[in-house]
Amino acid sequence: MQTVHSVSQVREHVRSWRSKGLSVGFVPTMGNLHPGHISLVNEARRRCDVVVVSIFVNPTQFGPNEDFDNYPRTLDADAAALVDAEADLLFAPAVDEMYPLGSNQTWVDVDRLGDTLCGASREGHFRGVTTVVSKLFNIVQPDVAVFGEKDFQQLAILRRMTEELLFPIKIVGAPTLREDDGLALSSRNGYLSDSERAQAPQLQQTLQAIGQALQAGERDFRALEQRHTDSLNQQGFQVDYLTIANARSLALAAPGDTDLVVAVAAKLGRTRLIDNISVSIVRDQ
């Protein structure tokens, strides 16, 4: 595996691969890699001849009170993990390589899908995500790009962006990897204290309880959300949202919806955690 830091170097590698008729898979990350990330690399490897991984902590998707400066940067360890995963190219640009003119004046924004869930409390977050992913797609020009289903809203937004901007790229969602106790793998889990880490799996347990209630026929979505929000808050979480949504539109689930996502974001101490489950229910008669 080679590590490069410039757009021109990536394009040179991609041109060489294309001249040989090779297909290109792509996994964008912000680094501090864990087995969940490696599972995305493995999925890209199964689908394509060569795999590019990017590591870039993107400043435009962080709000003014978020953890950009403290976000863990572990490039050497990440590169070693990618060698083991048999990635072909690591693209690790500096901020001025991705934003060469300084403050951006050109943005990619997906209306409505980014207004709910995380988008409601993280203003500008998804605009930063879609803009930088568009840049990366333009640089790498992959056949396939793989993202984790843990970031359900992000995946939905990037799928819509790819379709509407006519990127010739297949977007693949890979299943969430979890610890044995159910906690979704995340780079931010390292921020948790020992006591917080022991408590964190309650998020997934709450989602499962809601899923079971929905399968059992409960249809008062807002009351179900409120009951479990109150329970999490009483246990020491600070719930940003706990929402039962239409899995396609991400709007609040309404009577007659059958394909649902139950999504949660909550702080535990100073750490913001997200998780979700998909639930299919039988249409009420």
The pLDDT tens digits of the residues spanning 183-241 come to: 999 999 999 999 999 999 999 999 999 999 999 999 999 999 999 999 999 999 999 99
Q: How far apart, in whole angstroms, are the C-alpha atoms of residue 267 and residue 122?
A: 13
Domain co-membership, 17 together with 57: yes
What pTM was estimated for this model as a whole? 0.94
Sign of CA pseudo-dihedral 24, 99, 3, 127:
negative
Domain count, the chain: 2
Domain co-membership, 192 together with 132: no
User: Is pLDDT of 284 > 70?
Assistant: no
32 is in an annotated binding site: yes
Q: Which of 140, 174, 208 is the last residue of a domain?
A: 174
- Does residue 76 sit within a domain? yes
Q: Which of 144, 174, 204 is the last residue of a domain?
A: 174
Reply yes or no on whether 37 is catalytic. yes
The pLDDT tens digits of the residues spanning 144-184 come to: 999 999 999 999 999 999 999 999 999 999 999 999 999 99
Task: Name, in order, each residue with C-beta under 8 angstroms of 3's C-beta and a sequence gap of 6 or more.
Answer: 79, 89, 90, 92
**Contact (Cβ atoms closer than 8 angstroms) between residue 237 and residue 267:** yes
Domain range for residue 210?
Answer: 187-277
**CATH number of the domain that 255 lies in?**
3.30.1300.10
Task: Name, in order, each residue with C-beta under 8 angstroms of 263's C-beta and a sequence gap of 6 or more.
Answer: 117, 152, 153, 241, 242, 243, 245, 274, 275, 276
Q: Tokens for 254, please give them.
A: 């309404």
**CATH number of the domain that 87 lies in?**
3.40.50.620
- Kindly give the pairing relationship between strand 24-29 and strand 144-148: parallel
186 is in an annotated binding site: yes
- Does residue 111 sit within a domain? yes
Side chain identity at residue 79, one-letter code: A
The pLDDT tens digits of the residues spanning 238-265 come to: 999 999 999 999 999 999 999 999 999 9
- Does residue 94 sit within a domain? yes
Give the active site residue among 5, 13, 37, 228.
37
The pLDDT tens digits of the residues spanning 84-122 come to: 999 999 999 999 999 999 989 999 999 999 999 999 989
154 is in an annotated binding site: yes
Domain co-membership, 169 together with 197: no
187 is in an annotated binding site: yes
Q: How far apart, in whole angstroms, are the C-alpha atoms of residue 192 and residue 190?
A: 5
276 is in an annotated binding site: no
Domain co-membership, 41 together with 89: yes
